[in-house]
Amino acid sequence: MKAIISHDLDHITVWEHLFRDTIIPKYMARMHVELLSGKISLREYTLRWSDFFKNKWQNVDELITFNNINGVPTSFFVAVNKGVGLNYSNEAAMLWIEQMQSRRCEIAVHGIEFDNAGLMLNEYQLFEKLTGQQNFGIRMHYVRNTEKTYQLLAETGYTYDSTEHAYKNPYKIGEMWEFPFQIMDGWIIENYKSWQSLNLEQAKINTIKLIDKAHEHQLQYLGIDFHDRYFSHSFKTWLDWYMWLVDYLKCQKIEFINFNSAIKELESAQA
């Protein structure tokens, strides 16, 4: 089994959310709940205020650097559309896309449209125009989907998708590869709540169980989604969890790979 680690870029700045959505008040409520429940330290609480006033809600550069040091190919899903609490501009996105490209990251769409063929095609063509890429994948924001989403994505022209959460090996829908993923940071640490509900040791135990489950299902690729925003001492449990996870996978002799390299392996095996 090999591991495909990818990152969703959901936020870039704090101010992109002003008067547009409810992300900021939810953020304030969440950090107070986590402090009062003992899930975060006073230092983390203070650092979150610091991030707020620095207008910095992304850690792209820091995460790429860590991945490079540890031999993890960096794959980002970046939006070119707004919706569901995702509000950064294409201008802001392109500043980071250009840096990702210069550092040889794999870049795909963080999709908003999931059930309208025309709007999905517009999103695809806009990403293609802005990035200059011709073969790329997608993951839906909040992994939203309907029974027709995957077929529509294939018909739109995506090379791959990684929206499905399932213990399945990659499979093809038309010419598109579907890469189901199994582990997401929020599902682990928040444990299906709206705030951190597990400590680091609990998160490690639950993660190992999921990795063992992937082995039991004889998966070729373990899919992991970690959001760059949490690669920060402002979210120490998340930061420590990700660093531990990369080290744990290395100790288990699980190789890291990105989507495009995995596709080459799969298609070579089929030839």
> Tens digits of per-residue pLDDT, 220-233?
999 999 999 999 99
Number of neighbouring beta carbons within 10 Å of residue 80: 24
Spelled out in words, what is the top-level CATH class assigned to the domain 2-270?
Answer: alpha beta
Residue that has been written with the tokens 């095609």 in this structure: 121
**3-state secondary structure at position 8:** strand
Question: pLDDT at residue 270 above 90?
Answer: no
Q: Please give the Cα distance from 135 to 157 (Å, whole number).
A: 8
Scan for tokens 């639950």, then name that residue: 206
Residue 219's pLDDT is 98
**Which DSSP helix (H) or strand (E) runs through 27?**
helix 23-36
**How far, in Å, CA of 59 to CA of 229, rounded?**
5
143-148 own/partner pairs: CB under 8 Å, 24+ apart: 144/84, 144/114, 145/114, 146/114, 146/115, 148/115
pLDDT mean over 225-252: 98
- Whose tokens are 């899930």? That residue is 39
pLDDT at 194 over 80: yes
**pLDDT at residue 192 in the model:** 87
Q: What is the spatial distance between Cα 75 and Cα 194, in angstroms, rounded to a whole number? A: 26
pLDDT digits (tens, 9 = 90+) for 133-157: 999 999 999 999 999 999 999 999 9
> Taking the CB of residue 92, how many other CB atoms lie within 10 A of it?
15
pLDDT for 63-88, tens place per residue? 999 999 999 999 999 999 999 999 99
For residue 139, which of 93, 100, 180 has the smallest C-alpha distance? 180
Helix (H, G, I), strand (E, B) or coil at 125: helix
